[in-house]
Amino acid sequence: MKQLLVFFLSFCFSYAVSAQENNEVLFNKGMDAFNQKDYATSVKIFNDLVKIDSLNSVLHYNLGTAYLHMQNTGLSIYHLEKSLKLQPGYEPARINLNFAEKLKTKVTKGNLPIPQQQMLYSVFNFLKPNSWAYLAIGSMVLSVLVLIGYRFSQNATAKKLLFATSIFLLIVSTGSYFISENQSGYLLSNHYVIIKDTDVVLMQEPRTVSKITSTLTEGDKAFIKEETNQWVKIQLQNDTIGWVEKNNVLMY
């Protein structure tokens, strides 16, 4: 039984290493294709990698940049915005996003609402959600071990120190857990949309026979206010509010 367990763990480790190596090979092929200006191949490879690791800001940056060279405005803006959502301080993505915005046929002025989760994410983004979760688990285990030491210690000064340390580690564990939950919730939730097609109509009500509020262009960005199975209610940068069909937008 022990040998079987060792074999299983070795297999899992080998599989993980092999998968990582395969991803690195694919990444290098995508970069080679990009450097050779074969942007279509580069897009295909990075799309495959994004399906494997959807929360990788570098992959979204590379994909958005490849789409930028193909002058695919909507998809370029979407992936560059996604890259910045995952890594707010990623300056190369911000620079290329500015270039992508210039490809739009119509520039809309104004600012969109900022989700509360985004502000908290930006403050605690020096660690990723998984790292915060590991910190929560590790500090909880340490808190229990220190509390056991407190229970068996005979020295009054040591007992006070151990008890205070245990409480501190418990606070760290609880805080790290809530930060991890907030980070994960922000990354996995959709707050904005990018219009992926030209001449998309914004409706006053979530139905095809409703009054048309305005016409949107490829690459327009909007804030999500409400969703149904087929429609999403959005707020544009000029504060116009209306409904658009989900198949016309990319949500992130």
Query: What's the pLDDT tens digit per position in 23-81?
Result: 899 999 999 999 999 999 999 999 999 999 998 999 999 999 999 999 999 999 999 99
pLDDT tens digits, residue range 229-248? 999 999 999 999 999 999 99
Does residue 251 carry a pLDDT above 60? Answer: yes
Which of helix, strand or coil describes residue 89?
Answer: coil
* Domain 2-101 architecture: Alpha Horseshoe (1.25)
Superfamily of domain 191-251: SH3 Domains (2.30.30.40)
Does residue 208 carry a pLDDT above 50? Answer: yes
pTM: 0.78
Residue 32: predicted pLDDT: 96
Residue 7: predicted pLDDT: 38
Residue 56 DSSP label:
-
CA distances for 64 relative to 31, 44, 47, 69, 183, angstroms: 13, 12, 10, 9, 23
Best CA proximity match to 104, nearest among 197, 34, 243: 197
pLDDT tens digits, residue range 163-174? 999 999 999 999
